[in-house]
Copies of this chain bind each other. A is one copy, B any other.
Amino acid sequence: MVDRVVRVIAAFPEGVSVLQLSELAERAGLPLTTAHRLVRQLAQHGLLEAGAGGSVRLGLRLWELVNRNSPTLALRQAAMPFMEDIQHVLNQNVNLAVLDGWEALFVERLSRRGSVANRAQIAGRLAVHVSSAGLALMSHQPRSVQTEYLEQFTDPAGKVTAEELRALLSEAAHQGYAQLAGVIDPDTWGIAVPVLDGRKLAVAALGVVVPLREVRLQALVPALQTAARGIGRRLGDAGTLTQFRSTESL
């Protein structure tokens, strides 16, 4: 039963890499016996690794398989040189995100030089309406997607209404970039631009996070846009990611 397998793999809380069997069973909502059997099977195939005393973590083999054939590989490869350029020229944290559901999923990140490397945000998510990357992506989606998004939108924090959001998206669409006061750190700004593939579809967002006082949009935005165009050109027409967003056919 594939559902169980997913439950086990997804049972690891963010950032936690090792779990106790009993805890894993509970988190996955599985009877201990079943979890035990499943873990053993998965471990035999290398998707999981089991240490002494019932400790469990994701397997190296799983990591290998996923990263070898990563759906984001082409995108990241195309983007990396340009992200390095931004990192060198602006000396700021640079990140790359794609749209998944109504959230921005961060797929790559470079820290500003000198700061401690922080891989934490990689594979992290932020809701569209609280991230400049999310806004940049959503503002360049087909109108049908935007409509659907706005219709279902409700801010759990109650800080922004659907109408305000519509205005934000419209503004971002016209300006060609999105900006937003930092969510995690209130003293920072996020600024992001869409990466358009050959068909003018926003397949990713390229963004920076900068300290509030250093806001120099005039310097940041053109650099980001230039880099984004470079990435888009490398991607070619094979939108790579977007074609799968379509209605599931299977």
Contact = CB atoms under 8 A, between A and B. Distances in A.
Nearest to A12: B69
Contacts of A65: 9-10, 12
B17 A71 contact: yes
A27 interface: no
Contacts of A152: none
**What copy number does this chain have within its complex?**
2
B100 A244 contact: no
Contact of A248 (B14, B15, B50, B98): B50
B58 A69 contact: yes
A93 to B, nearest CB: 14
The contact size tier of chain A is 35 or more
A34 interface: no
A77 B117 contact: yes
Given A2-B41, A50-B244, A63-B70, 13 more contacts: A2-B5, A2-B45, A5-B5, A10-B65, A40-B250, A43-B250, A49-B71, A51-B244, A57-B69, A58-B70, A60-B71, A77-B117, A81-B117
A123 to B, nearest CB: 4
8 contacts: A2-B47, A17-B74, A52-B243, A53-B249, A54-B250, A60-B72, A60-B100, A66-B67
A42 B69 CA distance: 16
Contact of A66 (B62, B74, B117, B125): B62
Give the most central of A54, A61, A65, A98: most B CB within 10 Å.
Answer: A65
Interface in A1-59: 2-3, 5-6, 9-10, 12-17, 36, 38-43, 45-47, 49-55, 57-59
Nearest to A83: B117
A244 B17 contact: no
A60 to B, nearest CB: 5
A131 to B, nearest CB: 15
A57 B197 CA distance: 19
Contacts of A54: 249-250
A63 B72 contact: yes
A158 to B, nearest CB: 27
Interface in A198-238: none
A4 to B, nearest CB: 9
A122 to B, nearest CB: 6
Given A10-B65, A59-B71, A52 B246 contact: yes
